[in-house]
Amino acid sequence: MGLATFIGGVHPFEGKELSQDRPIQVLEPQKGEEMVFPLSQHIGAPAKPLVQVGDRVLKGQIIAEPGGFISANVLSSVSGTVKKIEPRLVANGAKVNSIIVENDGEEEAIEHFGEDRDYTKLSKEEIVQIVKDAGITGLGGAGFPTHVKLAPKDPSKIDYVIVNGAECEPYLTSDYRLMMEQPEKIVGGVKVMLSLFENAKGVIGIENNKPEAIKKLKEMVKDEPRIEVCELLTKYPQGGERTLIKAVTGREISSAKLPADAGCIVDNTDTVVSIYNAVCKTTPLIRKIITVTGDAVTTPQNFEVRLGTNYQRLVEAAGGFKTQPEKMLSGGPMMGQALFTIDFPVAKTSSALTTFTKDEVAANAPSACIRCGRCVEVCPEHLVPVMMMKASERQNLDDFTALYGMECVECGSCAFICPAHRPLTQAFKQMRKAVGAARAAARAKAAAEAKN
């Protein structure tokens, strides 16, 4: 039997050798350092501030509450004073309302912070509430609130708890270092999650380019009858939620469905460790593992930093730039967000800062489509990007939708493989956004007409 995988995908240059053997370094905040906490670090409604300028806050304190059902708490990662509440720049280039706290260096934490706790003595409702209070969201994707994910309509129908240890994005190694250095927390987090779903088994999916992590996790779960390690074929985007579910279970879901509709709960390794820390160690989500890498940085490294830390500190801790980067990305080269500055904070969904001395994309001007069909061959969602691009060029939302354009996961495989260097993924992102806006406008119009 071959390794678990999916149909399609590509094999980009991995680049992981730059930082994969660099142990996680803890980078603590400095006294007087400004910590910035955006109120939109998750999918859904922005959080609502619970503090005012001048308030003193504690490490681990909830400083903003969920602004809706799909939303999440925001916590302070330091003790200090709220200096401002104002819009600040985040990784995607937008300005987001944020709470700015000046670190007082006292490290004064909320009551019971860091205490051991036995999850087996907690009810399912208590565990979900702890996860909610801890502000945990998906830490490897869009930031879906984890407490919502852990409370599906019918928990008895969940038969898979899948840990995404694929880390298929090139250059990123933070999840790998977690698997190597904190495997017991990953297994502990899975056990906490399995306590919520009595009919489920746990599966830790790891690409086969990480043999040491596979060996370590297999050793950790050898006496755990409900947990196993699944070796995945190294291929991008193996770590995508839908492709991972397909590889592990053989089940397929559309964009209109959630993993729970396929009987699955999927979280990445960092999220699972955060669940363990919150439930078993009374430590809410205030830290994040970040990879700083690429050929422009002096010493590629994996850092554990407090949420709210400015990216400039990470670059300084990595020895600075050995040469001025021509391209900087929040994330990796396939799905990362291009940056014009690194003056923004580490947030829950942050994963990496990748820097390059040369912008390979800009160096290759797009040309006419040669209709080679390679984009169709590699699409993990079985779409026809060549036709979707035609609809995009005409700004024809109806045709784009009819071609199942809203099923696109924006993985970038089509743009990567295109010999004409067509900006396919960029076009599809814009079209998906336009379709979403049109649908929202139609719903608003229908609601207004219904009132009249």
Residues in the chain: 452
Residue 186 burial by Cβ neighbours in a 10 Å radius (0-12, 13-18, 19+)? buried
At residue 208, φ and ψ (nearest 5 deg) are: -75, 5
pLDDT confidence of 419, banded at 50, 70, 90? Answer: very high
Residue 414 annotated as part of some ligand binding site: yes
How high is the pLDDT of residue 92?
A: 87
For tokens 């602004």, name the residue: 67
The answer, yes or no, to whether residue 171 has pLDDT greater than 60, is yes
- Look at strands 62-65 and 48-49 and give their pairing: antiparallel
How high is the pLDDT of residue 451?
A: 82
CATH superfamily of 114-281: NADH-ubiquinone oxidoreductase 51kDa subunit (3.40.50.11540)
Please state which of the ranges 46-60, 131-145, 249-263, 350-364 shows the lowest mean pLDDT.
350-364
Percent of the chain with pLDDT over 90: 94
What are the residue ranges spanned by the domains of the chain?
25-112+285-356, 114-281, 374-451
Residue 408 annotated as part of some ligand binding site: yes
How high is the pLDDT of residue 250?
A: 95
At residue 227, φ and ψ (nearest 5 deg) are: -125, 135
* DSSP code string of 96-120: EEEEEEEE-S---B-TTTT----GG
Q: What single-letter DSSP state applies at residue 236?
A: B
The answer, yes or no, to whether residue 142 has pLDDT greater than 90, is no
Percent of the chain with pLDDT over 70: 100
Distances, alpha carbon 133 to alpha carbons 191, 279, 285, 448, in Å: 20, 10, 9, 36
Q: Enter the CATH code of domain 25-112+285-356.
A: 3.10.20.600
Residue 230 annotated as part of some ligand binding site: no
Entry pTM: 0.95
Query: Which value, in Å, is the radius of gyration of the alpha carbons in the chain?
Result: 22
Compute how many other C-beta atoms are within 10 angstroms of the C-beta atom of residue 297: 26
The answer, yes or no, to whether residue 1 has pLDDT greater than 70, is no
For residue 237, is the peptide bond before it cis, meaning its omega torsion is within 30 degrees of 0?
Answer: yes
Express each pLDDT in 36-64 by its tens digit. 999 999 999 999 999 999 999 999 999 99
Over residues 180-186, the mean pLDDT reads 98
Compute how many other C-beta atoms are within 10 angstroms of the C-beta atom of residue 21: 14
